[in-house]
């Protein structure tokens, strides 16, 4: 097999790609040099998966890589520019399921048990007894029926939460949830939910899906959590819902603009928990992502079918 060129759009720290020795020539690029380097690449590893450089460079002249891998769950930073190409896209499906489920479940417990209030009272050296809420017996709507959404749902169910899972299309006889609801049912489901959790892929259909109308349909005292994409939420509408106390609280791990500007009014929103796009990032996560790419490269080099192939018309890896 002719020498394979693997082009890496770099981010710090660099991925460990020692296993490619004697099988591939590894070339590095930054956002400025990517367009020039693309024609020589057989494989593109978008290690800097928060960059839009691939979308900007892809329409240029010359051949394009036959395979592009992004070490992220979402592929919205590659589409629609790659949609019509013959290039295969793969993603990091499977790496972030457990960490994000733990993160979301931690937020649910922390909100129900008012851990923030306890910490603030401790800092004030103020002993004040309160009553908190049971998590068991509440109801959650998880929007996004991929592996991460399913893992979140199963973890919450272990705490006694009733979970309604929402996907692109309705499916009956689901082994874990009994039924997967179609997105058209979301408005009705919101009215019964204590917890609304967004982990959907970003598509044109899901962009701005949580707006003033959606928040108005949620019952008073509900909580909203977004670990999907910032563009799923109209942030000004969420801010209004929190300021008006229509929601008891919310948590955002993703935002329209990242890093979140210091002058954003979200920093001071009542009842809002903010984290810097870290819900899936646990110790060693970059090594896990590199290993996943290398395992898939072994398959590609051997002429075998790749894992986690994205349906570019849908914007995600279809369910098996």
* Active-site residue, from 66, 217, 277, 307: 277
* Active-site residue, from 120, 170, 192, 258: 258
Residues whose CB is less than 8 angstroms from the CB of residue 156 and which lie 6 or more positions away in sequence, other chains included: 104, 105, 108, 140, 142, 163, 195
Which residue in this structure is represented by tokens 């460079």?
Answer: 57
8 Å CB contact between 241 and 247: yes
Q: How many CB atoms lie under 10 A from the CB of residue 291?
A: 15
Strand, helix or coil for residue 67: strand
Is 229 a residue of the active site? yes
* Active-site residue, from 64, 69, 77, 229: 229
Is 185 a residue of the active site? no
Closest by CA position to 206, among listed 146, 281, 277 = 146
| CA 226 from centre of chain | 9
CA distance 181 to 165: 6
The size of the chain, in residues, is 320
Instruction: Please report, for residues 5, 40, 167, 251, the alpha-carbon distance to residue 8 in angstroms, rounded to integers and kept in the order given.
Output: 10, 12, 33, 33
Is 204 a residue of the active site? no
Closest by CA position to 194, among listed 249, 155, 147 = 249
Cite the active site residues: 229, 258, 277
């Amino acid at each position: 097999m002719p020498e394979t060129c693997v082009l890496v759009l770099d981010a710090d720290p660099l991925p460990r790609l020692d296993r490619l020795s004697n099988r591939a020539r590894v070339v590095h690029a930054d956002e400025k040099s990517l367009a020039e380097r693309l024609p020589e690449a057989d494989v593109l590893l978008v290690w800097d998966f928060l960059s839009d450089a691939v979308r900007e460079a892809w329409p240029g002249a010359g051949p394009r890589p036959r395979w592009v891998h992004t070490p992220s769950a979402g592929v919205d930073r590659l589409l629609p520019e790659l949609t019509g190409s013959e290039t295969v896209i793969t993603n990091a499906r499977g790496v972030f399921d457990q960490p994000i489920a733990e993160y979301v479940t931690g937020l649910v417990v922390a909100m129900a048990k008012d851990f923030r209030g306890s910490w603030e009272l401790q800092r004030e050296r103020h002993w004040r007894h309160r009553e908190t809420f049971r998590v068991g017996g509440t109801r959650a709507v998880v929007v996004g029926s991929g592996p991460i959404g399913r893992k979140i749902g199963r973890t919450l169910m272990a705490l006694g939460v009733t979970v309604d899972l929402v996907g692109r299309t309705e499916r009956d006889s689901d082994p874990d949830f009994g039924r997967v609801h179609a997105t058209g049912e979301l408005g009705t489901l919101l009215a019964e939910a204590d917890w609304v959790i967004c982990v959907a892929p970003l598509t044109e259909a899901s962009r701005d899906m949580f707006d003033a109308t959606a928040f108005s349909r949620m019952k008073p005292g509900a909580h909203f959590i977004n670990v999907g994409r910032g563009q799923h939420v109209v942030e000004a509408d969420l801010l209004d819902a929190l300021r008006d106390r229509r929601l008891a609280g919310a948590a955002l791990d993703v935002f329209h603009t990242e890093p979140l500007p210091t002058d954003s009014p979200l920093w001071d929103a009542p009842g809002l928990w903010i984290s810097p796009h870290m819900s899936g990032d646990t110790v060693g996560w970059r090594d896990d992502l590199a290993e996943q790419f290398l395992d898939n490269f072994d398959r590609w080099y051997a002429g075998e079918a790749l894992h986690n192939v994205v349906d570019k018309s849908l914007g995600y890896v279809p369910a098996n």
